[in-house]
Structure 1
């Protein structure tokens, strides 16, 4: 979700890497005459640390909805005046409504991108190690210790983002019937269920 405060003759943007085309800033500057300073971060945690420290100097930042909600509660973000953003009416209303529920406001931000977390794998290497009936439609492909051991020489990598990984791990554990056995897991599940993240 994107957040804009005030610009003047310049705009300071803090965004994920690879989120805009190479010519976007040059095109924007040519069209508006506004000078853009564009900085990038590689995780929500880096963004959150900078924003919560205060006086970041950024006019526009692009956190994920869950981190926008936390930062908004901490006073790091201002709500937007949507009357000054005529194209806000072009947002997909269902996706925007879901994001608004997560953030707790309908003027905290606008959806910029929407996605999901999935599994990518080399079909031949997985079939060679786990057979043709490998559970490629399940997180057990990498979370089941027996499968992970057989795939170890291939390498297994996951996102360094707890808010993306933890709901998937919890979903996998729930399919095994472990949801309520561990009190810490129970607290995590309740937190995510109440947050609207899963």
Structure 2
């Protein structure tokens, strides 16, 4: 009996030690931005457990990383400005492509789009990308502003339209890095302009519609509110709008949601898979990136969150209704009209931050 008890104790000690030694991957990503099956599948294939935390703004991500020793192995910053800033600050580990055998499956043209933020594509792989535009309730917009255009930021930025649409709710995502470039482009200025007169023009235009804006809030909050029919116009990310439209259809309450891809040219936004310089387990992080870049895995992510990926071989595995939606995968003509933002000097970033604070405060 004693021998049996001793054997059981030994087995418990060994199994407990093995459990304690099981690897843990710490991921910090946007909310509503993963296929849950992909996470469980990664653990099943590798034995590496995943601790998955979420954020709803780049400011939150940057604040967590700026504090040092965040404990994360994988983060998903937007190429500009966050990835670029982190690279300049030495906060990211260069990727070892020998540990990412699926690296070559990325679209070279899209990788070229993010080289301005990440020269040589040394620090980030493309996770998902999308555009910035307007979520709309077409029925409510037509009822309140029948003469307003449904293909332009004029719908939001012209005070005469915003005044009428305020009755059904207007929201703007709380993201200066996405909103201000779009407003500058709409105003006929360079999205990267640092000229004081251009920034004043954008700020003046935003302040003119501020009395009619019900909420300036996180994109994830807008997603749920649009799906529930709380806003009839919202400036936010394309994938969030498409997710909201799907949720509204599933709810069966008769809420129709559309997406306006601005004819003036939409901002392309790239979210990148990156590894912090102090990542606890960089080998596991490389394994996760290699896993996500597989066509079958990335197709599942796109099907779940309605954002396009950068793996052309995944397209045949993407659901036809998602693959053929030009709001998910814009046409070549639309992409040609689109823009990506460039890096700004710290002084220019501070000026934009002050302009954004004045817009939020309404003065």
Compute the TM-score of the two structures, normalised by the length of structure 1: 0.83
Q: Deviations over 1:116-140 (max 9, x none)?
A: 0111212222122222x32111111
User: What SS does the corresponding residue of 1:86 show, helix, strand or coil?
Assistant: coil
Out of 79, 90, 115, the residue aligned to residue 75 of structure 1 is 90
More strand by share: 2
Q: Deviations over 1:36-84 (max 9, x none)?
A: 1111111111001111111111111111101111111112111111121
Q: Tell me whether 1:123 sits opposite 2:138 in the alignment.
A: yes
User: What SS does the corresponding residue of 1:70 show, helix, strand or coil?
Assistant: helix
Structure 2 unaligned runs (5+)?
A: 1-21, 203-339, 345-363
Contact 1:9 1:35 (C-alpha < 8 Å) held by counterparts: yes
Match of 1:87 in 2: 102
Runs (4+) of structure 1 exceeding 6 A deviation are: none
Contact 1:52 1:71 (C-alpha < 8 Å) held by counterparts: no
Match of 2:44 in 1: 30
Structure 1 residue 105: deviation in Å? Answer: 3.8
Q: Deviations over 1:141-191 (max 9, x none)?
A: 11111111111111011221111111111112227xxx8995361799xxx
Contact 1:12 1:38 (C-alpha < 8 Å) held by counterparts: yes
More helix by share: 2
Q: Distance in 2 between matches of 1:70 and 1:83?
A: 25
Q: Distance in 2 between matches of 1:147 and 1:60?
A: 43
**Count of equivalent residues:** 182
Q: Distance in 2 between matches of 1:9 and 1:73?
A: 30
Q: Tell me whether 1:195 sits opposite 2:343 in the alignment.
A: yes
Q: Tell me whether 1:142 sits opposite 2:156 in the alignment.
A: yes
Q: Which has the higher contact order (CA 8 A, sep 6+)?
A: 2
Match of 2:68 in 1: 54
Structure 1 residue 9: deviation in Å? Answer: 2.0
Compute the TM-score of the two structures, normalised by the length of structure 2: 0.47
Distance 1:187 1:102, change over 3 A: farther
Structure 1 unaligned runs (5+)?
A: 1-7
Out of 107, 113, 120, the residue aligned to residue 98 of structure 1 is 113
